[in-house]
A and B are shown apart, each in its own frame.
Chain A
């Protein structure tokens, strides 16, 4: 009798543990966080003209990829800036940034979202400025 009760308890506790574990696992898969730009693997590192050349060769493979770029700031506005008149970088809204001025030579990390044919420029978002 006593032994049976002991078994019952172990089974209940075991089931409860399994249930909790799987619930936690499901929650973790369903609500996994967004990968931040800092943690993303780079597909390209280099200058703006080289990237544009690569994008023109095969535009469809250059969506939602992280790149590191160096170039000169040719236009600034509140939410972003242009590099070498050809690439628009929208600043990452979740982090703070140093002030950028026209003519600065800078390095950035950002996500290519696609080629904007209305304004004929490549568009990046989640841009962060790399300081070394």
Chain B
């Protein structure tokens, strides 16, 4: 009986512990292309994201230098002239999915509002975006996109290339989070 009680308590305690879903290889990409010019876009396939499924809290982190461009020279300029990635190596996000619960999730996406703060080049900015959440094969799949303004993060674009880079940058994310064992 005592053992049974212990067992019960143990399962109750572990059940209460926060469930974490994690990815180390999340896909974050951005597009700042203007038609008729060379596409300005890159993908980061090494984004770390952690979701606490009990309360919907999300933390994410990526390294600027892990953004892969098609054109090597563009990647060099991006790191050296625009992002100063030696000085500001990462971008981070901390936020919360509003009214999140894993209960009604299925293979068809449900939408939640994600609110939080995004830090790029040491500058913090509040962002809000709708995030589609799916539950596929034990994974939580998050998809979303939002636009950002380079000036908000003190990223200055020289006038000579001003016409080749879009005013608003679209950032897209696709994370497949696995339950942490």
Contact = CB atoms under 8 A, between A and B. Distances in A.
Interface string B96-135: 0000000000000000000000000000000000000000
A80 B24 contact: yes
B65 A118 contact: no
Contacts of A114: 63, 65, 89-90
Contacts of B89: 60, 63, 114
Instruction: Give the interface residue-count category, chain B.
Output: 20 to 34
B8 to A, nearest CB: 31
A7 to B, nearest CB: 39
Given A63-B85, A90-B46, A125-B46, A119 B66 contact: no
A117 B61 contact: yes
Contacts of A31: 71-73
B50 A118 contact: yes
A122 to B, nearest CB: 11
A34 B111 CA distance: 38
Interface of B: 22, 24-25, 45-46, 48, 50, 59-61, 63, 65-66, 71-73, 75, 85-86, 89-90, 178
